[in-house]
C-alpha cells in the first residue's frame, strides 16, 4: 500500500514579492492610460529624464567609479553620451514613429485601405546587466516609455553604487505606477519573472537568457534577449596595421574588456602577425604606460567588477599560458584591486582555455591564418557572435567575409562604433541574442504592430461568397490565372 503523500507546504510570499505584485497590478491598471498618451506627453516624460541625467551626471560618474574605478571621461563616452543620444534621437523622431504606416492593398481588396498601428505591449520588464549598468538599463527604458508602456526594471546587484543611483533617479522622475525599479539579487529577478509581463527585455549571458525565455513562456510573453559571445576580429594582408592596433586596443581594453561587443579574439593573416603584435604593444604603452607599475597606476584603466570575475579571467590566462600561449604584453594581476593588466597573447590555439567562451576581460588572444576558409570554419563552429570586425582594404575580401559568416552586427576597419548609431538596429542572432533595439527599432520592439484593414465600399472579394458555382467559380479561375 502506498504511503500517503504529505500535504504540500504553502510558502508565504515575501514582503518584497508582495510589493512587486502590488506595483505590477498598479501598472497593469494604468497601462491603458499610458498606451493612449500622445507623442507630446511621452516626449515630456523623456525630457524630464534627460534633465535629471544632465543634472546628476557627476553623481553618476562617482557611483560608477566606486563600482569599477572607471575614469570620468569613459563614463561620459560609454554611459552618459549614448543615453543622451538615444533620448535626443527619440524625442526628435517619436511623433513620426507613432503615426500609422500605410501599406498597399491588393486588387482583390479594392475598396479598402490598410495600415499598421503601433500599440504599447502593456506592462514590460527590463533586466539589465552590470558591465554598463546605466546605459544598458536606460536605453531599453527609453524605448519602452516611447512606445507607451509601463515598466518595471531591475539593475544588477554586482554594481551596488550605480544601482542605488538608478533607484533614486527613477523614483524622482517617474511615479511608481509608470516606472518602478527594484534592487536585489537573483531572488528578486526570479520573483519578478513570476509576474505575467507582456514583454521581457533581458541583457546578460545565454545561460540566464534561457531561464528568462523559459519564464516568459509560462505567460506567453514576448522577449528580447541581448546576450553576447566571442566576437571575432579578422585582419587580412591589406589592413592598415597601425590603425588596426589602435582600434583593437581601444575596443578591447575600454571598461577593462567587460563589453558585450568587445573584440574577443583576433585572426590575423600569418604574414602580418608580428607587425600587429608589436603595434599593439606600442599602443598599450601610449594608452596606459610602459611598465606594469605604470599601467596598474593608470587613471584611465578600469577594474574587473568583482573577485569571482577577476579569478575567472586570471585563470583563463594562467591555464592558456600553461599549455603554450605566450604573453606578449601584460599578464599581471592583482586580487585586492581586481586588476588584470591589458594583455595580448600570441601562439593561441582554438582548443586553449582562453578560447572556450567569452573572455569578458582585458585579454586579447591572437591566432593566425593562411586562408580565409580556416577563419570561416572556426567562426561557424561556435555560437553566432554578437559582433564581427574586419580590418581590410580589399572590398572583395570584405564582401566574401560577410557572405561566409553571420553576426548580430559588423564593423569594417574599426570596432564598437556601430552601437553608437541610433539609426542601426542593435541585437544578436542565435546564441548572441533575439530581437533588437536602438532608435525606431527599440520603439517597435516594445510595440505591437497591429494590422488594420478598413473597408470603405463593397469589395471585389464578395464575388467569392458561396455558393461556389457559376460566376464565383469563373471569377476565382480568372484571379488565379492572373497570379500565375
The distance from CA 296 to its chain's CA centroid, rounded to whole angstroms, is 30
User: Cell triple for residue 43?
Assistant: 516626449
418 contacts 409 by C-beta, under 8 angstroms: yes
As a whole number of angstroms, the distance between CA 423 and CA 75 comes to 23
H or E segment and range at residue 389: strand 387-391
129 contacts 204 by C-beta, under 8 angstroms: yes
List pLDDT tens digits, range 105-134: 887 788 889 999 999 999 999 999 999 999
User: Cell triple for residue 197?
Assistant: 509581463
As a whole number of angstroms, the distance between CA 360 and CA 158 comes to 15
Q: Which residue has the cell 517597435?
A: 444
- Which residues have CB under 8 Å from 148's CB, separation 6+? 34, 35, 36, 37, 42, 119, 120, 447
Question: What domains lie within the chain, and their CATH numbers?
Answer: 15-227+437-448 (3.40.605.10), 232-424 (3.40.309.10)
List pLDDT tens digits, range 342-386: 999 999 999 999 999 999 999 999 999 999 999 999 999 999 999
As a whole number of angstroms, the distance between CA 15 and CA 23 comes to 12
The C-alpha torsion from 322 through 323 and 324 to 330, rounded to 10°, is -40
- Classify residue 148 by its DSSP letter: T
Q: Give me the chain's average pLDDT, please.
A: 93
Q: Percent of the chain having pLDDT more than 90? A: 88
- Residue 6: pLDDT above 80? no
Mark 416-431 as b/e (b = at least 16 C-beta within 10 Å). bebbeebeebbbbbbb
- Residue 10: pLDDT above 60? no
Please say whether the dihedral angle defined by the alpha carbons of residues 81, 84, 88 and 90, taken in this order, is positive or negative. positive
- Residue 441: pLDDT above 50? yes
- Residue 3: pLDDT above 80? no
Active site residues: 226, 260
Q: SS3 of 168, please?
A: helix
The mean pLDDT value for 134-142 works out to: 98
List pLDDT tens digits, range 96-113: 999 999 999 887 788 889
Q: At CA 345, angle to CA 394 and CA 75, rounded to 5?
A: 80
Q: What is the largest CA-CA distance in the chain?
A: 92
Residue among 257, 259, 254, 250 at smallest CA distance from 228: 259
Q: At CA 300, angle to CA 297 and CA 306, rounded to 5?
A: 75
List pLDDT tens digits, range 251-281: 999 999 999 999 999 999 999 999 999 999 9
User: Cell triple for residue 132?
Assistant: 554598463
List pLDDT tens digits, range 311-345: 999 999 999 999 999 999 999 999 999 999 999 99
Q: What is the pLDDT of residue 111?
A: 83
H or E segment and range at residue 334: strand 333-334
Helices (H), 194-258: 206-218, 241-253
The distance from CA 405 to its chain's CA centroid, rounded to whole angstroms, is 20
Q: What is the pLDDT of residue 278?
A: 98
346 contacts 273 by C-beta, under 8 angstroms: yes
CA distances from 170 to 53, 193, 281 (A): 10, 20, 43
Q: What is the pLDDT of residue 105?
A: 87
Range 401-407, long-range pairs (CB < 8 A, 24+ positions)? 401/234, 401/372, 401/375, 404/372, 404/376, 405/376, 405/379, 405/380, 406/430, 407/231, 407/432
Q: Which pLDDT band, with edges at 50, 70 and 90, does 466 fall under?
A: confident
Give the up-direction half-sphere exposure of residue 230: CA atoms within 13 A in the CB hemisphere: 21
Instruction: Tell me which of 481 and 389 has the higher pLDDT.
Output: 389
Amino acid at each position: 500500500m502506498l504511503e500517503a503523500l504529505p500535504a504540500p507546504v504553502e510558502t508565504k510570499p515575501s514582503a518584497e514579492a508582495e510589493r512587486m505584485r502590488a506595483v505590477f497590478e498598479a501598472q497593469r491598471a494604468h497601462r491603458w492610460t499610458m498606451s493612449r498618451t500622445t507623442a507630446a506627453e511621452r516626449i515630456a516624460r523623456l525630457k524630464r529624464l534627460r534633465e535629471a541625467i544632465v543634472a546628476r551626471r557627476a553623481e553618476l560618474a562617482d557611483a560608477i567609479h566606486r563600482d569599477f574605478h572607471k575614469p570620468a571621461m569613459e563614463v561620459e563616452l560609454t554611459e552618459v553620451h549614448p543615453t543622451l543620444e538615444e533620448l535626443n534621437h527619440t524625442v526628435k523622431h517619436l511623433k513620426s514613429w507613432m503615426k500609422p504606416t500605410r501599406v498597399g492593398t491588393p486588387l482583390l481588396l479594392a475598396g479598402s485601405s490598410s495600415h499598421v498601428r503601433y500599440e504599447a505591449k502593456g506592462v514590460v520588464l527590463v533586466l539589465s546587466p552590470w558591465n554598463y549598468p546605466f546605459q544598458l538599463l536606460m536605453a531599453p527604458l527609453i524605448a519602452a516609455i516611447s512606445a507607451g508602456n509601463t515598466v518595471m526594471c531591475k539593475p544588477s546587484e554586482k554594481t551596488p553604487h550605480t544601482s542605488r543611483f538608478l533607484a533614486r533617479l527613477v523614483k524622482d522622475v517617474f511615479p511608481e505606477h509608470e516606472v518602478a525599479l527594484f534592487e536585489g539579487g537573483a531572488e528578486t529577478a526570479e520573483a519578478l519573472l513570476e509576474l505575467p509581463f507582456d514583454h521581457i527585455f533581458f541583457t546578460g549571458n545565454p545561460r540566464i537568457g534561457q531561464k528568462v525565455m523559459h519564464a516568459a513562456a509560462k505567460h506567453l510573453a514576448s522577449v528580447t534577449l541581448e546576450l553576447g559571445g566571442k566576437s571575432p576580429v579578422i585582419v587580412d594582408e591589406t589592413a592598415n596595421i597601425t590603425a588596426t592596433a589602435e582600434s583593437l586596443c581601444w575596443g578591447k581594453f575600454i571598461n577593462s574588456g567587460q563589453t558585450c561587443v568587445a573584440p574577443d579574439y583576433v585572426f590575423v593573416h600569418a604574414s602580418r602577425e608580428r607587425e600587429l603584435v608589436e603595434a599593439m604593444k606600442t599602443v598599450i604603452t601610449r594608452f596606459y604606460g610602459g611598465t606594469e607599475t605604470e599601467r596598474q597606476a593608470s587613471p584611465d584603466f578600469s577594474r574587473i567588477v568583482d573577485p569571482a570575475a577577476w579569478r575567472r579571467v586570471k585563470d583563463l590566462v594562467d591555464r592558456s599560458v600553461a599549455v603554450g600561449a605566450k604573453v606578449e604584453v601584460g599578464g599581471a594581476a592583482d586580487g585586492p584591486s581586481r586588476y588584470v593588466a591589458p594583455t595580448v597573447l600570441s601562439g593561441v590555439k582554438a582548443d586553449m582555455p582562453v578560447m572556450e567562451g567569452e573572455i569578458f576581460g582585458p585579454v586579447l588572444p591572437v591566432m593566425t591564418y593562411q586562408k580565409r576558409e580556416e577563419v570561416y570554419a572556426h567562426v561557424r563552429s561556435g555560437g553566432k557572435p554578437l559582433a564581427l570586425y574586419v580590418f581590410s582594404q580589399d572590398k572583395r575580401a570584405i564582401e566574401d567575409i560577410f557572405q561566409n559568416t553571420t553576426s548580430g552586427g559588423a564593423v569594417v576597419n574599426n570596432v564598437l562604433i556601430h552601437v553608437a548609431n541610433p539609426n542601426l538596429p542593435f541585437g544578436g542572432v542565435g546564441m548572441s541574442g533575439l530581437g533588437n533595439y536602438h532608435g525606431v527599432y527599440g520603439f517597435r520592439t516594445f510595440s505591437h504592430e497591429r494590422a488594420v484593414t478598413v473597408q470603405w465600399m463593397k469589395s471585389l472579394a464578395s464575388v467569392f461568397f458561396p455558393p461556389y458555382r457559376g460566376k464565383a467559380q469563373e471569377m476565382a479561375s480568372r484571379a488565379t490565372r492572373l497570379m500565375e
